[in-house]
Amino acid sequence: MEKDLILETKQLTKSFLGFIAVNNVDLHVQRGNIHALIGPNGAGKTTCFNLLTKFLKPTSGKIYFNGENITQTKPAQIARKGIIRSFQISAVFPELTVLENVRIGFQRTHTNTYNFLRSDSSLNRLNNRCRELLAEVDLLEFENHITADLPYGRKRALEIATTLAMEPELMLLDEPTQGMGLEDVERTTQLIKKVSTGRTILMVEHNMNVISSIADCITVLARGAVLAEGTYAEVSTNPAVMEAYMGTSEGVLEGAH
């Protein structure tokens, strides 16, 4: 049975002044999966993300979303097609309340414009949906808090909520647990697992404990190229992966950051 691929790349390549950052990457993201992109520092993970969301143009190769060639599609059009990226650095409006941040995401999908000049009363119809989403990410009790006052881990949860408000078909999460303490890492890991129901997630993540607990499939990059792909059990015992991460081909990859 052929896999139902939501995202696929064919020989995706990006070079900068002769340096090949992404080298002939064939990526296969199955619909409904949590798919992790991992690799040592400098492996090309963020560059690959930037190519998928069209912040960078490929030097060569093709990108397909739901079978459609989107290689030349502009970033704003990519978002409208349902590919929404959550950035490595928390991207929320710090002076707005938690609910207002989520409502901005809904405005994008329900009014075709951010339209900041609309009256509060005309936007209140979105509030019930905002509260449902805040409940989904365990932030409902913080709805009236100013975002700047939230703890770091809660800000990242809010960022996931604003991403969800844009109703993505494919969510791209860029190191969602970076900079978190153990408690926040665990909460965010469970949150990603929870919101993945009925959605597809492609994530870059360094924490192997996170990857091992929630990823359905893992693609390992090294020096811009695909080194291995498979389940955690498969890639964590792959000698080539061990060599890239640890400098040895013996043992098992676990608990690395």
Q: Spell out the domains of the chain, with CATH numbers in brackets.
A: 1-81+168-176+196-257 (3.40.50.300), 83-167 (3.40.50.300)
Give the pLDDT mean for 193-204.
93
Q: Greatest CA span in the chain, whole angstroms? A: 63
Label residue 172 by pLDDT band (50, 70, 90).
very high
The per-residue pLDDT for range 42-91, each reduced to its tens digit, is: 899 999 999 998 889 999 999 999 999 999 999 888 988 999 988 655 56
Among 191, 180, 199, 203, which residue's Cα sits nearest to residue 38?
Answer: 203
132 CB-contact burial (10 Å; exposed 0-12 / middle 13-18 / buried 19+): exposed
More confident residue, 236 or 7: 7
* Secondary structure of residue 218 in the 3-state scheme: strand
Residue 119 has a pLDDT of 56
- Alpha-carbon dihedral sign for residues 123, 125, 129, 130: positive
